[in-house]
Amino acid sequence: MTLTRVGPTCDHENMRVDGKVFIVTGAGSGMGRELTHLLLQRGASVAAVDINPGSLAETAQTAGASDSLALFIVNIADREAVEALPEKVIARFGAVDGVINNAGIIQPMVMVDDLDYQVIERVMAVNFWGPVYLTKALLPHLKTRPVAHIINTSSMGGFLPVPGQTIYGASKAAIKLFTEGLHSELAATNVKVSVVFPGAISTNIASNSGLSGFQERMSGDGKSQPKTPPMTAADEAARIIVAGIERDHYRVLVGRDAKLMDFLCRLAPKRAAGFIYQQMKGILGS
């Protein structure tokens, strides 16, 4: 009897990060900075990408002197700049084995009615088009590597509607399905694909998004507005993500809140949406 193999024909081992070269976007702060530090500590080389030169310099300073780190000031919403990046990184390190599309911004805490198109387009440009540009620019090279990995950062807001962050959520939902589609398209290749769903992470994404006072509004006074939910530390989030890479996880949930809401959304999506609305309506009302 002849057995016929069904499904993907590529059977590479999972990627270990040591000795590999990664591009990390949003490396100037938060999870991106911690991912850069952790990858370097694990023996990887990192092309750290950010739009903010000062923040990127701080990442380099806190990482310590290393030939395994290179800094690239790039606006990921600029397609031409992104398309030129892989060649520069390959010239520096000789190859690229993985990309962590981590950079992202949030929107002002207002409803869609009150959002200008300029804000909507900026959120989509950074959160969706940036990862698309970099993924497409890198794919021809990644396919030549013995094993490669694409990691795209969605959000708990990518599967759970958060009033006042609807456009942000739409951008992250787009990244979710983009990544899942890539996983299927590349299943028979050497390129592995994971999507990350962070919950509340202790970062400065609000200030990086140009939203002064956002954290104060989220914290509230404990009466008319909800208190900020427990947050996962950025370094812990980085550890979870790197473990997800090395174990080739399809989905990487970061934080107890992300895991809980993922479960509730599967069990009773409308009830989960209502729960989040009750948490957020005080902020929207303000």
> In this structure, what token pair is assigned to residue 11?
């059977």
Q: Please, which contacts does 275-281 make with residues 24 or more away whose CB atoms are closer than 8 Å?
A: 276/160, 276/161, 276/162, 276/163, 277/163, 279/226, 280/162, 280/163, 280/164, 280/226, 281/163
Q: Report the 10 Å Cβ neighbour count for 122.
A: 17
What gap in Å lies between CA 232 and CA 202, rounded to an integer? 6
* Six token digits for residue 42: 């694990």
Q: Per DSSP, what are the bridge partners of residue 232?
A: 201
Give me 97's structure tokens. 């084995």
Question: How far apart are the C-alpha atoms of 44 and 33, rounded to whole Å?
Answer: 14
The one-letter amino acid code at 157 reads G
CA-to-CA distance for 101 and 99, rounded, in angstroms?
Answer: 6
Q: Determine the Cα–Cα distance for residues 228 and 209; give it in Å rounded to an integer.
A: 18
The question of whether 168 is a catalytic residue gets the answer yes
CA atoms within 13 A on the CB side of 6: 2
Pair 53, 29: CB distance under 8 Å? no
Q: How far apart are CA 24 and CA 45, in angstroms?
A: 10
Find out whether 115 and 167 touch, Cβ atoms under 8 Å: yes
Whole-number Å distance between alpha carbons of 189 and 145? 10
Residues marked active site are found at: 168
